[in-house]
Amino acid sequence: MPTTAEPPTRGIGEYALIGNMRTAALVRHNGTVDWLCLPRFDSHAVFAALLGTEEHGSWRLGPAQANGMQPPSADRRRYRGNSLILESEWDTPHGTVRVTDFMPPLDGPPRLIRVVEGVAGRVAMRSTLHPRPGYGRVTPSVMHVGRRLVATAGPDSLWLDTVTDLPITTLAHDGTIVAEFTIEIGQRAAFALSWGPSHTAPPPEPEPEAALEATGQFWREWTAKTTYRGPHEAAVMRSLITLKALTYAPTGGIVAAPTTSLPEEIGGSRNWDYRYTWLRDAAFTVSSLLRTGHLDEADAWREWLLRAVAGDPENLQIMYGVAGERDLPERELEWLPGYANSRPVRVGNGAATQLQIDVYGEVADALYLADLAGLSSDERTLELLLSMARQVCRLWKEPDDGIWEIRGKRRHFVHSKVMAWVALDRTITMLQRSPHHHATKIAALQKQRDLIHRDVCEQGYDPERNTFTQSYGSHDLDASLLHLVLSGFLSPDDKRAIGTVEAVQRELATPQGLLHRYSTSGARVGADGLPGDEGTFLICTFWLVKALVTIGRHDEASALFDKLLAVANDVGLLAEEYDPVTKLQLGNFPQGFSHIGAVEAAIALQAEQARA
């Protein structure tokens, strides 16, 4: 049952993202870093105030306030151009100050740098650093090492460097470091927090100004590769930058989101750890990047995939660690109260052992798109596709846990069957494009593909309502049914496809037009095995935009797309879900799925506009 909810003292949408393609931090409107895992996305958090209080780890930097007063929100904030360099500005009675936050995406230690600049007048500033490794559970020891401060706890050391000519008063007590100073127009001060193993030599001292310039150059070069030109170009670029930020550069793995346990319902228990590489989410991410000119990430992910699956495709998992780890045990962190008292706080994810047949289709489709984009397939890729196809032929008749990772009874989900069809369809096309002769294999796969299609049309379709249903024999609907038309399983002019789009829109949409992924059951345990409700699922509504475009309803799709973009926060970021009543973003943040949806919907609208 849901715990007693508390009104959020801060909205999920108050945060901005910075990152270095190894990990990421969330920075609140008031200049507080409330979430940071080091050195990787899935490492223990050293700042976990997002899921508790500032005493669970945070770093506040901004205009000084009297003791006991809440720090003020910045008057303005923005990303510097097309980058992950965040600029926040405060206007005070005595002057204006700017704080620039970034994480250099370069070789070297993971590092968070915060540059303070006097814009006007004279402003008293305070930095309060509460490092609390182990998800807020451990108070580190703090000591001076020359001009540097180091906070150490077990295997981790956090080195704080202050780079400025200004006089700064620093006090370290009980694992907390407080620095106070005054900054005037034209003056600058920089703070850098670097991670290193506690048993090795300290990380090199930072050069903040050089790192800032190099970080800006990195993002200018990366975004220059983007080929998308069309409606809402700024929103598409922000989504692509966010997806890039979710990649783990050393291996090519891609996380679903950089956070854990942000609730799908305030006070509820639908709180999951998304800091891992789902095959589905990563395949969708790669597809969006491929469609917008970014081939390097697709190539790196394909290599990651081949390593993760290794020589054991029969035991394919639906998700892995960012380096391909298979063991992701789920546990609860009882000492954390959770965001707005939404318990439990979970790390790890038990869904790693689920059967989700749809992932074969999503992976095969991404590999197919990579091939079309010019990433030539080698024998390893074709062998993986054939291995997955054999698994699909063996598994497709089985019930599974589905795209939404239900924790109830397995069912014959229509979406899973449709994506099994996609897996065989794309494999057949890839084999036909191969210079080698695969006629016998192609014929066998075509027979199975056609059998799946016939089975879905016979078992998953409700002729009285002219719609496919969530699972065989079910009356319920599911937003994933939109993939009947999006995947090519049905022609856009098929009356069953149009009827399904209309039924999903009619039965799962809110008055604002946003879609729930399926119906939930309130306090009762629903068909998904969980109690509680959730917000509208943003990628599902983006799918609806694409589906409406596909069946020829461009104007309706365009209006809905505009509504979706209005859900984004002030710096263009989207969580997993949205509550149109409270107007709160819900779920892990920022969510790759949602930004994938924004890119894909924009591409669909742009393509239709070009045809008109």
Question: 3-class secondary structure for 266-302?
Answer: CCCCCCCECCCEEHHHHHHHHHHHHHCCCHHHHHHHH
Q: Which of 373-382, 456-465, 474-483, 510-519 has the lowest mean pLDDT?
A: 373-382
| Average pLDDT score over residue span 219-233 | 95
Answer whether residue 340 shows pLDDT above 60. Answer: yes
306: left (phi over 0), alpha (psi -120 to 50) or beta: alpha
CA dist., res. 482 & res. 504, Å (int): 8
Rounded (10°) CA dihedral 44, 49, 53, 58: 100
Answer whether residue 194 shows pLDDT above 60. Answer: yes
Strand partners, 27: 16, 33
CA dist., res. 190 & res. 186, Å (int): 13
Answer whether residue 82 shows pLDDT above 60. Answer: yes
CA distances from 91 to 63, 101, 428, 554, 557 (A): 9, 18, 61, 44, 41
391 closest CA partner among 430, 420, 419: 420
- Contact of 246 with 255, CB cutoff 8 Å: yes
| Cβ neighbour number for residue 377 with a 10 Å cutoff | 18
- Contact of 480 with 456, CB cutoff 8 Å: no
Answer whether residue 522 shows pLDDT above 90. Answer: no
Answer whether residue 5 shows pLDDT above 50. Answer: yes
Q: Which DSSP state fits 568?
A: S
| Average pLDDT score over residue span 205-231 | 96
Q: Which of 72-76, 148-152, 257-261, 405-409 has the lowest mean pLDDT?
A: 405-409
| Average pLDDT score over residue span 364-375 | 93
Q: Which DSSP state fits 251?
A: T
Answer whether residue 215 shows pLDDT above 50. Answer: yes
φ, ψ (nearest 5 deg) of residue 351: -65, -10
User: Residue 374 burial by CB count (10 A; 0-12/13-18/19+): exposed, middle or buried?
Assistant: exposed
Answer whether residue 4 shows pLDDT above 60. Answer: no
Which amino acid is residue 50, in one-letter code? L
Both structure tokens of 292: 């917008």
Answer whether residue 435 shows pLDDT above 80. Answer: no
CA dist., res. 367 & res. 302, Å (int): 8
| Average pLDDT score over residue span 286-313 | 92
Q: Which of 85-89, 515-519, 568-572, 600-604 has the lowest mean pLDDT?
A: 515-519
All structural domains of the chain: 15-222 (2.70.98.50), 225-611 (1.50.10.10)
Q: Is the dihedral of CA 342, 344, 347, 353 positive or negative?
A: negative
* Residue 155 pLDDT: 95
* Residue 523 pLDDT: 65
pTM metric for this prediction: 0.95
CA dist., res. 25 & res. 102, Å (int): 9
CA dist., res. 480 & res. 469, Å (int): 10
H or E element in which residue 565 lies: helix 554-565
Q: Which of 262-266, 294-298, 376-380 has the lowest mean pLDDT?
A: 376-380
User: Do strands 111-130 and 58-63 pair parallel, antiparallel, or not at all (unpaired)?
Assistant: antiparallel
pLDDT band at 9 (very low <50, low <70, confident <90, very high): low
Q: Which of 171-175, 366-370, 487-491, 525-529 has the lowest mean pLDDT?
A: 525-529
Q: Which of 190-199, 497-506, 602-611 has the lowest mean pLDDT?
A: 602-611
pLDDT band at 107 (very low <50, low <70, confident <90, very high): confident
* Residue 525 pLDDT: 67
Locus of tokens 């070069």: 221
| Average pLDDT score over residue span 74-98 | 97
| Average pLDDT score over residue span 74-93 | 97
- Contact of 481 with 442, CB cutoff 8 Å: no
* Residue 3 pLDDT: 43
Both structure tokens of 392: 């699909």
| Average pLDDT score over residue span 374-401 | 91
| Alpha carbon 524 to its chain's center | 29
CA dist., res. 252 & res. 238, Å (int): 20
CA dist., res. 464 & res. 443, Å (int): 35
Give percent of the chain above pLDDT 90: 86
Answer whether residue 593 shows pLDDT above 50. Answer: yes
- Contact of 55 with 64, CB cutoff 8 Å: no
CA dist., res. 73 & res. 31, Å (int): 7
pLDDT band at 2 (very low <50, low <70, confident <90, very high): very low
| Average pLDDT score over residue span 114-139 | 97
Q: Is the dihedral of CA 533, 534, 536, 539 positive or negative?
A: negative
In this predicted model, what pLDDT tens digit does every residue of 321-333 receive, in sequence order? 999 999 999 999 9
CA dist., res. 265 & res. 272, Å (int): 12
| Average pLDDT score over residue span 519-545 | 82
537 closest CA partner among 352, 171, 349, 264: 264
Q: Is the dihedral of CA 146, 148, 149, 151 positive or negative?
A: negative
* Residue 1 pLDDT: 34
* Residue 99 pLDDT: 98
CA dist., res. 354 & res. 399, Å (int): 11
In this predicted model, what pLDDT tens digit does every residue of 40-66 receive, in sequence order? 999 999 999 999 999 999 999 999 987
Give percent of the chain above pLDDT 70: 97
